Structure 1
Amino acid sequence: MHTVDPWVALADPTRRGLLARLAAEPNSVTELAKDLPMSRPGVSQHLKILLDAGLVDVRKHGRQRIYIARPNELAALRAELDSLWSKALSNFKNIAENTTDKEEP
């Protein structure tokens, strides 16, 4: 069980950026922090939230910890978002069709 809701974890733009980078390729905190205006401990705190949300995994490689995105968890979020999007489009279609029917003389 995850201790952080994945959607809450992704509410922060820094964490979304980190996750996007990790989806492209696994990386260490040091590599991730190079391009960010924050310290390695700050990046580590964001990564811990992503880890607690189940969106990333961490592996030890020598003395480094390498973070990697979890594709299955990302797919689950996408499926949830796709479902919401489909429902919204369906509702919009129903409203549009009902509005058009009522406007005709």
Structure 2
Amino acid sequence: MSNQKKYTEEQEQIARIAKALSHPIRIAILQMLAQQECCYHGDMSEVIPVAKSTLSQHLKELKDAGLIQGELELPAVRYCINQENWKIAKTLFATFFKDIHTKNNC
């Protein structure tokens, strides 16, 4: 018998999304994408003050978590919010925060 803890699929999803949201650059990327239908990597690098390689790493984290999607349109990649997964994330977090009840101010 294994001593490893088993987590629910919901717990794993929340943790994966929370990790993707854990950097201010990723929040800035999501806010930028939420304001427009799509955005090209090159356009983002003009607005978000980081090296293109760093931006690419943050985009990969968001994409791996399923929060954004990218489509190759040579010679660039076009990114947008993954609407279906974003709805799932909103529901997961709304339920998570609603279900957490504190009994005192500790």
TM-score (norm 2): 0.73
Q: Structure 1 stretch 77-86 or stretch 45-54: which is displaced more?
A: 77-86
Q: Which runs of 4+ in 1 moved over 3 A?
A: none
Percent same amino acid among aligned pairs? Answer: 21
Please state which structure has a larger fraction of its residues in helix. Answer: 1
Matches within 5 A, 1:1-105: 5-25=16-36, 26-88=38-100, 91=101
1:54 partner SS: coil
Gapped regions of structure 2 (runs ≥ 5): 1-14
Deviation of 1:85 (Å) = 2.6
CA RMSD of aligned residues (A): 1.9
Point out the more displaced range, 66-75 or 78-87.
78-87
Separation (CA, whole Å) in 2 of partners of 1:11 and 1:55: 13
Q: Which amino acid aligns with 1:29?
A: H
